[in-house]
Amino acid sequence: MKAMILAAGLGRRMRPLTDETPKPLLRVGGRPLIEHQIEQLRDAGFRELVINTAWLGEQLEQALGDGTALGVHIQYSREGQPLETAGGIVQALPLLGDEPFAVVNSDIFTDYDPVRLPRAPDGLAHLVLVDNPAHNARGDFGLDAHGRIDDNAAGRLTFAGIGIYRPELFADLESGERKLAPLLQAAAARGKVTGERHTGAWLDVGTPERLEQLDQQLRGLS
């Protein structure tokens, strides 16, 4: 099974750190953030990776190369400008193939083990959800008792930026800038999206303050 790491964002919330460095290459614990995702995916059996790039994407390619040094094989989906999540996936579909594939945000840090992801989702997608952090108190999706994403379910959880998707979810989309949430909401309304709740460690490394917090934690300084 292939996996895609989303790395094409502009990193606006991270400025000025991202003025000259793409967010996935910002360092935590002495290493680029994206290396943590790559190693987690590799250890879970995902050896064929696709990384989308846009802002300062050439730096990512120079740093990671073809992935050999990290024990994986990397292909790059180059975007002239960030296409949002669904748009980036649509562009990368020729590299991802016809089977279900995993997608992981490059700006998260978690102890979730990707080996737990279903290799054949029951529906069009399977999402990992976490308890709502302070910066997303209203959550993103509801999860019912049967493991289905359902906005009518009691309570809402935050999308962790980890999921498995079937290519059919994106089959009717034209290329261009497109968000993922509306697509998932429409599929969930048809009962086509499952999910699970992860109760372990998870952090959206979206601001300089959270980056520093994670760096100190990994270095044993907090």
Helix, coil or strand: residue 33: helix
Report, as an integer, the average pLDDT of 80-103: 94
- Phi (first) and psi of residue 3, to 5 degrees: -135, 145
Tens of pLDDT, residue by residue over 152-206, are 888 899 999 999 999 999 988 888 889 999 999 999 999 999 999 999 999 999 8
pLDDT of residue 75: 98
Task: Enumerate domains of the chain plus CATH numbers.
Answer: 2-218 (3.90.550.10)
- The per-residue pLDDT for 200 is 95
Q: What is the mean pLDDT of the chain?
A: 92
Q: Select the more confidently predicted residue: 50 or 216.
A: 50
Give the tokens for residue 172: 């009717």
Instruction: Give dist(CA 137, CA 68) in Å, integer.
Output: 40
Q: What is the pTM of this model?
A: 0.94
Mean pLDDT, range 32-37, rounded to an integer: 94
User: Letter for the amino acid at 6?
Assistant: L
HSE of 132 in the Cβ direction (CA atoms, 13 Å)?
13
- Residue 222 pLDDT grade (very low, low, confident, very high; cuts 50, 70, 90): very low
In this prediction, residue 42 carries a pLDDT of 97
Eight-class DSSP state of 174? P
The percentage of residues in the chain with a pLDDT greater than 70, rounded to a whole number, is 99
